[in-house]
Amino acid sequence: MDEDRRIQIGQAEAWLWWTHVPLLAGQRLGVIGKFSAVSLEAAAELLNHACEELKAQGCTLAVGPMNGNTWRNYRLVTEPGIEPPFLMEPVNPQPWPEWWRSVGFGPLAEYYSAATEDLAARDPRLDAVAARMAKAGVVIRPLAPACFEAELDRIYDVSVVSFELNYLYTPLPRSAFVAQYRAIMDRVKPELVLLAEQAGRPVGYVFALPDYTQAQRGQTITTMIVKTLAVVPGRAFAGLGALLLGEVHQVAQVQGFTRAIHALMHESNQSRNLSAHYTRTIRRYTLFSKRLTVGGV
């Protein structure tokens, strides 16, 4: 991993990035990630030192916690609710957000996870969308596990054009993307990964996984985690994201799941708008920032 510097002060530790970081208009970001601390005093000393280091590198805004970019772990749970943690969700001690706030960090972006217990619910508008997609030659199919790496290539092709306007987007090489998903290959249930194609070209996908943390708690796995939903830009594919979400809900119900969690949605993302038709918010997360110069935001 391409960290620029590791810092440790007493019982607190973090890594800093400033060379390869997300872009934000009018700012030069410095990123603080891999954060850990055992007390307010340790956290405050570490975070203040981190900000001075980043300022010395010419950064105007410190952002964190983020392990370099948004393809890796980032955000703090700020409103935990009563639900237990789910698969691949960030987890942190409850005091940490207040420790960041205590040294001048405030919210830069907010995120949500939401759940539904009614997988049979279907937006009545989806029938018209399905008919329009069929007429346009768009076919929705499950992932082919025998061709897993080739399927990841197709998912990558959609991701890079679908996400490039996302907040704090950073380009990711194909090899790194494939490596990230290869690491969770044994957790993938092919029926829960749906690809939309037009004339053989991938134009959208939804990537969902069983919530294996239920099994770790000695429970039957009844929850599906919708990890990623992406569609290529263009009016021709309007509604395809909603259709993919509705389809994966139906598939999950047939597979015996009774519940879905739509995970880690940015407050302004289209996926959150689609999710709102079905779900209730169960958890909130925050990405923090602190101004390092007079011109920062």
Query: What pLDDT, on the 0 to 100 scale, is given for residue 296?
Result: 43
Beta partners for 202?
Answer: 197
For residues 274 and 186, the model is more confident at 186
Residues 68, 263, 186, CA angle at the centre, nearest 5°? 80
**pLDDT more than 90, % of the chain:** 90
**Tens digits of residue pLDDT in 207-259:** 999 999 999 999 999 999 999 999 999 999 999 999 999 999 999 999 999 99
Task: Tell me how long the chain is.
Answer: 297
CA–CA distances in Å: residue 296 to residues 2, 15, 59: 25, 22, 9
Q: What is the CATH number of domain 119-277?
A: 3.40.630.30
**Tens digits of residue pLDDT in 252-288:** 999 999 999 999 999 876 555 566 667 899 999 999 9
Number of Cβ within 10 Å of residue 157's Cβ equals: 16
| Parallel/antiparallel/unpaired status of strands 29-37 and 61-64 | parallel
The identity of residue 183, as a single letter, is A
Q: What is the mean pLDDT of residues 180-201?
A: 95
The domains spanning 5-110+286-291 and 119-277 adopt the same CATH topology:
yes
What gap in Å lies between CA 23 and CA 167, rounded to an integer? 9
CA–CA distances in Å: residue 164 to residues 11, 27, 179, 247: 38, 18, 20, 25
- Name the phi and psi angles at 204, rounded to 5: 180, 160
pLDDT above 70 (res 6) = yes
- Helix or strand (DSSP H, E) at 137: none
Q: Which class does domain 5-110+286-291 fall in? A: alpha beta
- Residue 107: asked if its preceding bond is cis (omega within 30°), the reply is no
For residues 178 and 277, the model is more confident at 178
CB-CB contact of 37 with 11 (8 Å): yes
CA–CA distances in Å: residue 218 to residues 83, 209, 213, 215: 16, 18, 9, 5
For the chain, domain boundaries: 5-110+286-291, 119-277
Query: Which pLDDT band, with edges at 50, 70 and 90, does 1 fall under?
Result: very low
C-alpha neighbours within 13 Å on the C-beta side of residue 284: 10
Query: What pLDDT, on the 0 to 100 scale, is given for residue 271?
Result: 56
**Tens digits of residue pLDDT in 92-104:** 999 999 999 999 9
What is the number of H-type helices and E-type strands within the chain? 8, 12
Location of structure tokens 């030192």: 49
Read off the pTM: 0.92
CA–CA distances in Å: residue 23 to residues 29, 161, 177: 7, 17, 19
| Parallel/antiparallel/unpaired status of strands 106-116 and 280-291 | antiparallel
Which runs of E-coded beta strand occur in 65-176?
76-79, 106-116, 138-142
Furthest-apart CA pair in the chain: how many Å? Answer: 63
SS3 70: coil
Query: What pLDDT, on the 0 to 100 scale, is given for residue 297?
Result: 42
Q: What is the mean pLDDT of residues 172-196?
A: 95
Return mean pLDDT, the chain.
Answer: 94
